[in-house]
Chain A
Amino acid sequence: MEPVLLNTQLIFNGVAVGCIYGLVALGFVLIYKATEVVNFAQGELLMLGAFFAYTYIGILGLPYWLGALLAIASMAIFGGLLDRVVMRPVVGQPTFAYVMLTIGLGIIIRAVASMIPGWGVETYSIDTPYSNAVINVAGLVISVEYLFIVIATCLLVAVLYGFFSFTRLGVAMQASSQNQLAAYYMGIPVKSMFSMIWGISASVAAIAGILLAPVSLIDTSMGFIGLKAFPAAVLGGFGSIPGALVGGVIIGVIESLSGFYLPAGFKDIAAFLVLLVVLIVRPEGLFGTSTRKRV
């Protein structure tokens, strides 16, 4: 394949995968902006979302769109409950406590998922209306699955942006994120806002899982992709929603290119090398702001 075409192909694939990273990173960032907690279990939420979709579509036989929607709704509820039951009691504790807590949650979710009958340790797939279709454009082979990921991600980010900027609820959530005390005084039920943000974040993870399912199939170790989302979130700047997506896409592209041009093994660690470089050179990422404690 001639170079320009090859690179474009690699880049496009990278963008698609990067969108998934971006979506997971988006989930991180949503929760972080609100509560300064990083949810190390975000990858597992993605996996759960995919499994819910499999249950509705594959096991119960519902049509694709309905099943997907139900999965997203189920995860929204799950995320909200998670915050209400597990995270709320630990408000105000040092970072280490949160980190270990969410790591522990991730472990539990993965382990329990592997024990549920009908899920277990098998790999599954779900049929989508667009599975395995490809489009040929000027010599590029564009998998419709990948295309769908990119389009869906863009739509989702646009919807979220609109939600947070223009709806009352969204603005209230932004207020809660920026200054809890002031939000309380304005009559905003901050704790409920946080549970809702967790719900939204879990839904975003679910969408990512559903989009990823045709590409990588569904199994309980799907959640590991969550680890790749850290470089994305850090690159974008942990407090920035568009940043998360941009970071994800850049990581995806870098991975795709290094998979082809660099020796074996580099593809797996490319994302983490980028992460380390960003943390050393510019910890606040592309769009973030640096914060420091006031003495």
Chain B
Amino acid sequence: MRFIFKTSYQQDIRLYRHGGDIFWYGLLLLALLTAPAVLDVYYIGELTLMAIFAIAGVGLMLLTGYTGQISLGHAAFFGVGAYTEAVLIEAGWPFLLSFPTAGLLAGAVGVAIGLPALRLTGLYLAIATLAFAFIVEEVLARWESVTHGHEGMAVGDISLLGMDIDTEWKLYYIAIAVLILVMLGALNILRSPTGRAFVAIRDSEHAAQSLGVNLATYKTLAFAISAAFTGLAGALYAHKLLYISPDAFTIYMSIELLLMVVIGGLGSLHGVVFGAAFVILLPQAIAIFRDELPSMVAEQPGLESAIFGLILVLVILFEPLGIYGRWLKIKHYFSVFPLYRKATFKRQKTYSRMTQR
């Protein structure tokens, strides 16, 4: 069992807990950087998708996992980011300008839903975000002069610092770079006053207010940052797909994003990456097993959805802490072996008093 001996407050603030962390993350980084030399183009593409979804997942996790604001319509921000990028690239903007703008615009849309939603909690907020996403989807489809509506829109190549990003692995590196930046940003926020304020809002709005946290400011900020990150992911998605249409950004995608967050484990950034990997690899896994299953079951188009839904239900029922939670439990089990107590992770059920006013 590793015991971390602390000698300064700096240690608590640092992003890494001990030398071992640096080693493992360094190794991971090395693996990611050398992947294109080792893996087939197809898998690089899958990794790129994973990175893109992970970026969106970080956004959603900040909002739902850390600030406690349920968003059932995050695909809206993804779509806004994607279309902004497509439109700007078409208009001749350089990537280094269009990309951040896509994020900023998505962030602005986030504020647009965050502000009116300030007084809403839990369920009502979830429904509001759902409604909002539908409206945004409809706008994207109807605003044909800009988005070409249901016809869809081709996305031009990125030209970065004079270099054309025209292969999978080039896009892959950009995606990984953005993912790392976004994660660092999120981690920084979480170890700062803003991040703590987010968690405070999630756990007790009354207490947060009594400590001087302006709910309106921080909830809106959470929406803005979350939407901006998701918008950046959308922009990259546009370049990955090379052709976008409004039907990509429906409630299915919102649920996929949520599935990622749930499977990964709420309140865990590591979990987001696990979740993204899971969501992207699941169709692959199903495709492989399809051959094994009796043809009656295997040929059904609904199979993927059914398994999707089943996993969602099972995770909620049996492992609400997600994959990362399971990983933590396993680590914990080994670190305190043989003194493991099941009750360490037992869920606390809470009942709050609601009164009618």
A interface vs B, CB < 8 Å? 38, 86, 89-97, 99-101, 103-108, 110-115, 117, 121, 220, 227, 230-231, 234, 264-265, 268-269, 272-273, 275-276, 279-280, 283, 289-295
Given the contacts A107-B255, A292-B357, A279 and B313 also touching, CB distance less than 8 Å: no
Q: How many angstroms between the C-alpha atoms of A157 and B295 in the bound complex?
A: 46
Residues on B facing A (Cβ under 8 Å) = 64, 70, 72, 116-117, 119-120, 122-124, 126-128, 130-132, 134-135, 138, 141-142, 206, 255, 258, 262, 266, 296-297, 300-306, 308-313, 316-317, 320, 347, 349-357
Q: Give the 4 A-B CB pairs with smallest separation, nearest first.
A: A107-B309, A92-B349, A104-B312, A111-B306
A231 x B131 contact (CB < 8 A): yes
Known contacts A234-B124, A272-B135, A279-B128: A104-B309 contact under CB 8 Å:
yes
Q: Can you list 7 A-B pairs with a CB-CB distance of less than 8 A?
A: A38-B127, A94-B350, A95-B123, A103-B72, A108-B313, A265-B142, A273-B131
Q: Chain B contacts of A117 at CB under 8 A?
A: 296
Do the beta carbons of A294 and B313 come within 8 Å of each other?
no
- Decide if A292 touches B126 in the complex (CB within 8 Å): no
Using A106-B309, A276-B131 as known contacts, say yes or no to A295 and B206 having CB atoms under 8 A apart.
yes
B352 cross-chain contacts in A, Cβ below 8 A: 293
CB distance from B233 to the nearest CB of A (A): 21
Name the distance in Å between B136's Cβ and chain A's nearest Cβ. Answer: 10
Q: In whole angstroms, what is the CA distance A275 to B355 when docked?
A: 24
A283 to B118, CA, bound (A): 11
* Bound: A208/B342 CA distance, A: 46
From A92, A103, A283, contact of B124 by CB (8 A):
A283
When distances are taken between beta carbons in the complex, the residues of chain A under 8 Å from B258 are 100, 103
Residue in contact with A272 in the complex, picked from B134, B353, B356, CB distance below 8 Å? B134
Q: Which residue of B lies closest to A224 (CB)?
A: B251
Instruction: Specify which of B117, B301, B316, B350 is in contact with A114 (CB 8 Å cutoff).
Output: B301
Is the Cβ of B131 less than 8 Å from the Cβ of A92?
A: no
* Interface pair B127/A230, CB less than 8 Å apart: yes
Q: Which of chain B's residues have a CB closer than 8 A to the CB of A283?
A: 119-120, 124
- A292:B313 contact, CB within 8 angstroms: no
Decide: A268 and B131 in contact? CB cutoff 8 A: no
Instruction: Provide the residues of chain B in CB contact with A234, threshold 8 Å.
Output: 124, 127
Could you tell me the distance between the alpha carbons of A113 and B120 in the complex, rounded to whole angstroms? 35
Alpha-carbon distance A257/B188, docked complex (angstroms): 51
Q: Tell me, rounded to whole Å, the shortest Cβ–Cβ distance linking A49 to chain B.
A: 19
Q: How many pairs of residues, A versus B, come closer than 8 Å at their CB atoms?
A: 147
Report if A275-B302 is in contact (Cβ < 8 Å); known contacts: A283-B120, A293-B352. no
Which listed residue (A97, A108, A230, A269) contacts B309, Cβ 8 A?
A108
Task: For the complex, give the distance between the alpha carbons of A279 and B355 in Å.
Answer: 20
Please give me the residue from chain B that is nearest to A106 by CB atom.
B309
B306: chain A residues at CB < 8 Å are: 107-108, 111-112, 115
A230 close to B131 (CB less than 8 A): yes
Could you tell me the distance in whole angstroms from the C-beta of B239 to the nearest C-beta in chain A?
Answer: 28
Contact B302 A115 (CB under 8 A): yes
Q: Which residue of A lies closest to B70 (CB)?
A: A96
Give the distance in Å from the alpha carbon of A187 to the alpha carbon of B131 in the complex.
41
B128 adjacent to A276 (CB under 8 Å): yes
Contact of A100 among B138, B141, B312, B347 (CB under 8 A): B312
Chain A residue contacts of B354, Cβ below 8 A: 291-294
- From A94, A108, A294, B310 is in contact (CB under 8 Å) with A108
On whether the beta carbons of A279 and B124 are closer than 8 Å, the reply is: yes
How far is B306's CA from A113's CA once the two chains are assembled, in angstroms? Answer: 10
Rounded to whole Å, the gap between the CB of A198 and the closest CB of chain B is 16
Report chain A residues within 8 Å CB of B302: 110-115, 121, 220
Cβ contacts under 8 Å, A104 to chain B? 309-313, 316
Q: Which residues of B contact A38 (CB under 8 A)?
A: 123, 127
Contacts of A121 in B (CB 8 A): 301-302
Q: B312 is contacted by which of A92, A107, A265, A275 (Cβ under 8 Å)?
A: A107
Residues of chain A within 8 A of B311, CB atoms compared: 104
Whether A97 and B116, one on each chain, are in contact in the complex, defined by CB atoms closer than 8 angstroms, is no
B127 touches A115 (CB 8 A): no
Contact, CB under 8 Å: A265 / B313 = no
Known contacts A111-B303, A231-B131, A279-B128; A105/B70 CB under 8 A: no
Give the chain A neighbours of B320 by CB distance below 8 A: 93, 97
Contacts of B303 in A (CB 8 A): 111, 115
Docked Cα-Cα span, A227 to B252, in Å, equals 13
